Each structure stands twice: as C-alpha cells, then as structure tokens.
Amino acid sequence: MRSMFLQMVVEHMRNRRYAKRTIELYSSWIVSFIRFNDNAHPADLGDEEVEAFLSYLVAAKNVAPATQASALNALAFLYRDVLERPLSLTLDFVNSQRKAKLPVVLTEDEVVLLFSKIPAVHKLPISLLYGSGLRLMESVRLRVKDIDFDYNAIRIWDGKGGKNRVVTLATELKLALVRQVGLVENYLMADLDDPDFSGVYLPYRLRVKYKNASKSLEWQYLFPSSRLSVDPENQRLRRHHVDETSIQKAIRKAAKDCEIKKKVTPHTLRHSFATHLLQAGADIRTVQTQLGHSDVKTTQIYTHVLQQGAQGVVSPLSRILK
C-alpha cells in the first residue's frame, strides 16, 4: 500500500530518527489496521476501532503479548504523533493470555560443538552473539569504529528501544577482528575507485553533519556485503552489511549437523551468554547492563537454569536412587 498518507507517516518516522526496522514494523501494523477497517482512513477511526483490531489479533490470530503490544505501539504512535489525536489511556480490548516462552539455553559443551560446525565466513559475527551477548541485528550493524580494542569493549548504538550500551569483548576475538577490519579496508579501497559509489549508509543527520564520513574506514560496516547494492531510500550505490538471514541459516544448519535437539537461533546464543555469565558468578545487575535490559526482571528469567529445575528442589527420587 503506497498511499500518500503512508508515505507521509514513513517520512515522519524518518525525521524522528526511527530505526529502519521500526519504520517497517509500524508501517506494516498501520496497513493491517487500515485493511481491517475496510481501507477507511485512520483519521475517520478512533478508540473503538483500535480496540476491535487489538481484540481481533488475539481472538482470531492468537498472537503473543509482545506482538499485540507492538501493534498497540504502532497505532499509539500514529494517533499521537501523526494525527495528533492520542488514543485513550483506558482502551478496553482483549489482552493476549499466551505465556512468554522460557529461553532455550545451550550448555557450554553444546556451544563448542555448534561452533565446530559454523562456516569460517560466519564464525566471527556469530561469535559476538555468544561472546558479547549481541542481538543478531546488533552484530551485523556494527561499524569499524564500534570496536574498542584498547578497553576490550564493543559500543552498541541505537539498540533495542533506541538504547546505547557498552559490552564486553572477548580478547580471543581481537586478532580476528583486526583481520576483519583489514578486509573492510580492502573493500573500501576498491569501492572508492568506483565513481558511482556513494559511501556507506549513515543514519539520521550524520550524513549532513559529517559529510565525508560515509567514505571513511571507521564508519564502514564491520561485516560488509560481498557486493554493492542500490539503496532503496535514494537509489545510491552503497555497500550494505551482510544479510542477517545468512547468519540465521548458518546457525540452523550447524545445529542440525551436530544433532543438537534444541531449537537453536541467533537469540539462543544471547540467552546462553547471559545464563553462562550468571553461572560463572556474575552479578545479575552486570548481566542486565550487558544485555541492555531496562528492567532487571527481564534478566531474572535466566536464573531458571541456575535453579536446577523447580526452584532448586531436589526430587525425592534422586535420594532413593543414590
């Protein structure tokens, strides 16, 4: 749906520095809401229609609480920031009752086994998922400048919720990262010889503030794509970061090859990072900071592994079978 209204909504989000993924997600929910209401313009709709849509997502689609909350956030943005008619704070709709799943966590032996099957081309970005607790998109969006070799740290900018944070860097990865920077530099030197090359994508107003940054080494993606592509936003030739789906496929195939029966995704490695840190004696507040959680309650879910089952209770069967 490419209406003038939706184009205006997208431009509004870009001006407010929303992440590309957020723009895509919010746009998708707004389109779904409009279609649910027989293509009526949102300005002619309001609280009642929003309530019906949110209830429909639960009754007909059985969506998870986070999915329903995502839809609500998109519509709240639409009415508050675009239409300037904020939704009621007392919306009455059916809340999703689906329970959040407990995280899948690998043992340390399973992590070792998994990495033995990861292709070399993907091993470094995947190592950062487990070694630094990064989300998938945080890993592939890293820039050269984000690696702090002196302090063994990685700086994450505009993570989930627009938050910045500093995370640990495993010293064992430093040599591989130095080599990766060298690879990026080789790509850049070749790209600069192409008269059509417009430099790497820069977020927000940085492209105006730092006019030459797009062609400087420090701003290039740490894990660049192997080929140049056209930026759909302005049709300029750029080198984007590696496609995140290639990382997902590599992890899924490695887990299958080493016959790990758990469902293993990029986020499984982040879950494992948090659990193994706690298992090694790290303070939960430290783990919270590393993960970028706003509420420590979110981090506490990882303590379930350390509790060895149901709150650490030893089964009576274990005692009689000793």
Q: Give buried/exposed letters for 267-294 (b at 16+ CB in 10 A, else e).
A: ebbbbbbbbbbbbeeeebeebbebbbbe
Cα–Cα distance for residue pair 45/31, rounded to 1 Å:
14
- Three-state DSSP class for residue 167: strand
DSSP 8-class letter at 241: B
DSSP 8-class letter at 114: H
Cα–Cα distance for residue pair 143/198, rounded to 1 Å:
17
DSSP 8-class letter at 204: T
Residues 6+ apart with CB under 8 A from 278: 284, 287, 302, 303, 305, 306
How many CB atoms are closer than 10 A to CB 21?
10
Residues 6+ apart with CB under 8 A from 291: 133, 270, 274, 298, 299
Q: Phi and psi of 159, rounded to 5°?
A: -75, -165
Cα–Cα distance for residue pair 184/170, rounded to 1 Å:
21
Cα–Cα distance for residue pair 73/318, rounded to 1 Å:
48
Catalytic (active-site) positions: 135, 160, 267, 270, 293, 302
Question: Do 70 and 25 touch, CB atoms closer than 8 A?
Answer: yes
